[in-house]
């Protein structure tokens, strides 16, 4: 759980709170539909303020206006909205009937980056442990709006993607990613990771679906529901991480129940980079077989494809991937160590 700090220590000027913090249970109204609130159902009549230790993340509900839903899943729902006149994304985190502890951990993990601002990280604008007229919500998180296109969409051509249109050799209805795009995306991701790691934040669920791509082609790392905050001065967590993450991208040391370090994200980056190059799923076998083989037999996606051998850039990417997903944590490069070679590779294209 992040340490409480004054709200305006991390909010930009346009989101600075008023001196009078409003009740956090005020209903959010859809424009033109005064009879319905943000989450549906009858408007809340309770006016419950956040306790002083949570005042830093208070949301001014009167300034939040729903525009349209962007998606939903087991975690809850995401909406496009405006907050204080600026377009934002709003994540409504719901309670899990199966594992309420995991739901609470996920909500607070999202706020590990609440004070941070970086060009390659999705920024948290504000948050609240309350939600209007909702009995099934753990809280609400307001984030900068970066669009709805993820690296997964770009790689696999799924959804309404602005890159789609020309068939590639496989006839899948998506453009092939150039080596220049591949290297640029990689630079953005590793730059974001280097910043997060410098702040003691380990993402623990890095994968194409959690990397957003803006209309300007900039990658931003998002979805911090599995993230972990290392204790100050420590390179690894004193605790074993119990939260999930995606098994295809989860580092073998975490599968074995070992301590969390930033090198777990480097492993996930290697699998993600492989996906960018190959545009295939990393594993096709049964989940339990994959988990066992990754740990016991060092199973990894194949690097034998021609794309890794037919050009100097391909060979360099192969070398980076191979180094980043080594079983021995100490043999993997850090994000800060990776950056110079990736930037040099980008400059050579």
- Give the mean model confidence (pLDDT) for residues 309-337: 97
> How much of the chain, in percent, has pLDDT values that exceed 90?
57
Task: Indicate the Cα dihedral angle 39, 106, 142, 71, nearest 10°.
Answer: -60
Over the stretch 173-185, which tens digit does the pLDDT of each residue have?
A: 456 789 999 999 9
CB contact at 8 A, 260 and 204: yes
- Do 190 and 100 share a structural domain? no
- Give the mean model confidence (pLDDT) for residues 12-18: 39
- Do 138 and 96 share a structural domain? yes
Q: Would you say residue 43 has pLDDT above 60?
A: no
Note down the domain range covering 102: 55-144
Q: How high is the mean pLDDT of the chain?
A: 79
CB contact at 8 A, 134 and 25: no
**pLDDT given for residue 114 in this prediction:** 87
Q: Would you say residue 247 has pLDDT above 80?
A: yes
CA contacts within 13 A on the Cβ side of 68? 4
DSSP assignment of 19-54, as one string? SSPPPTTPPPEETTEEEEETTSSSPP----PPPGGG
**pLDDT given for residue 242 in this prediction:** 54
- Give the mean model confidence (pLDDT) for residues 202-221: 96
- SS3 label, residue 74: coil
Distance separating alpha carbons of residues 241 and 38, to the nearest angstrom: 34
**pLDDT given for residue 167 in this prediction:** 42
CB contact at 8 A, 79 and 89: yes
Number of domains in the chain: 2
For residue 61, the domain's CATH number is 3.30.200.20
**pLDDT given for residue 25 in this prediction:** 29
- Do 278 and 342 share a structural domain? yes
**pLDDT given for residue 334 in this prediction:** 97
Distance separating alpha carbons of residues 293 and 72, to the nearest angstrom: 32
Q: Which whole-number Å values give the CA distances from 188 to 30, 118, 182, in the listed order?
A: 36, 11, 10
Q: Would you say residue 88 has pLDDT above 90?
A: yes
Q: Would you say residue 209 has pLDDT above 50?
A: yes
Banded model confidence at residue 101, pLDDT cuts 50, 70, 90: confident
For residue 276, the domain's CATH number is 1.10.510.10
CB contact at 8 A, 291 and 251: no
Q: Would you say residue 13 has pLDDT above 60?
A: no
* 72 inside domain: yes
> How much of the chain, in percent, has pLDDT values that exceed 70?
72
**pLDDT given for residue 128 in this prediction:** 86
**pLDDT given for residue 240 in this prediction:** 52
- Do 181 and 140 share a structural domain? no
Instruction: Mark out the alpha helices in 211-334 (DSSP H runs).
Output: 252-255, 263-278, 287-296, 312-324
- Do 251 and 333 share a structural domain? yes
Over the stretch 49-73, which tens digit does the pLDDT of each residue have?
A: 445 555 555 788 889 998 999 888 7
CB contact at 8 A, 209 and 151: yes
* 165 inside domain: no
- Do 342 and 249 share a structural domain? yes
**pLDDT given for residue 14 in this prediction:** 42
Q: Would you say residue 349 has pLDDT above 70?
A: yes
Place of tokens 């999930």: 244
Write down the pTM of the prediction. Answer: 0.80
- Do 104 and 193 share a structural domain? no
- Do 328 and 259 share a structural domain? yes
Q: Would you say residue 288 has pLDDT above 90?
A: yes
Q: Would you say residue 28 has pLDDT above 60?
A: no
CB contact at 8 A, 49 and 22: no
- Do 280 and 192 share a structural domain? yes
Q: Would you say residue 143 has pLDDT above 80?
A: yes
CB contact at 8 A, 143 and 222: yes
Distance separating alpha carbons of residues 10 and 199, to the nearest angstrom: 14
Distance separating alpha carbons of residues 314 and 146, to the nearest angstrom: 30
* 189 inside domain: yes
Please indicate whether residue 119 is annotated as part of the active site: no
- Do 261 and 130 share a structural domain? no
95 is in an annotated binding site: no
To 10 degrees, what angle do helices 179-198 and 312-324 make?
30
Active-site option among 20, 60, 119, 205: 205
DSSP assignment of 165-193, as one string? -S--TT-SSSPPPPHHHHHHHHHHHHHHH
* 17 inside domain: no
- Do 216 and 259 share a structural domain? yes
CA contacts within 13 A on the Cβ side of 240? 7
């Amino acid at each position: 759980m992040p340490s409480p700090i004054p709200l305006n220590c991390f909010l930009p000027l346009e989101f600075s709170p008023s001196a009078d913090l409003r009740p956090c249970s005020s209903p959010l109204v859809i424009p033109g539909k005064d009879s319905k609130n943000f989450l549906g159902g009858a408007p809340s009549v309770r006016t419950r303020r956040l306790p002083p230790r949570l005042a830093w993340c208070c949301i001014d509900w009167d300034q939040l206006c729903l525009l349209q839903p962007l998606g939903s899943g087991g975690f809850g729902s995401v909406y496009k909205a405006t907050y204080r006149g600026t377009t934002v994304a709003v994540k409504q985190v719901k309670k899990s009937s199966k594992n309420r502890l995991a739901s609470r951990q996920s909500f607070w993990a999202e706020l590990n980056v609440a004070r941070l601002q970086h060009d390659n990280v999705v920024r948290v604008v504000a948050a609240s442990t309350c939600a209007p007229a909702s009995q099934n919500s753990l809280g609400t998180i307001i984030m900068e709006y970066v669009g709805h296109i993820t690296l997964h969409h770009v790689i696999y051509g799924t959804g309404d993607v602005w890159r789609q249109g020309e068939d590639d050799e496989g006839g899948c209805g998506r453009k092939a990613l150039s080596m220049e795009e591949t290297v640029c995306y990689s630079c953005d991701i590793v730059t974001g990771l280097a910043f997060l790691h410098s702040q003691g934040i380990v993402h623990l669920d890095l994968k194409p679906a959690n990397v957003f791509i803006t209309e300007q082609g900039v990658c931003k790392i998002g979805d911090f529901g599995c993230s972990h905050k290392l204790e100050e001065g420590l390179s690894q967590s004193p605790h074993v991480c119990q939260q999930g993450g995606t098994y295809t991208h989860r580092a073998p040391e975490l599968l074995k129940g070992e301590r969390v370090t930033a090198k777990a994200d480097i492993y996930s980056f290697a699998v993600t980079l492989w996906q960018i190059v190959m545009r295939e799923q990393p594993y096709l076998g049964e989940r339990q077989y994959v988990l066992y083989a990754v740990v016991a037999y060092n199973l990894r996606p194949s690097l034998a494809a021609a794309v890794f051998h037919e050009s100097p850039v391909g060979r360099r990417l192969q070398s980076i991937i191979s180094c980043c997903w080594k079983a021995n944590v100490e043999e993997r490069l850090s994000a800060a160590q990776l950056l110079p070679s990736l930037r040099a590779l980008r400059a050579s294209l």
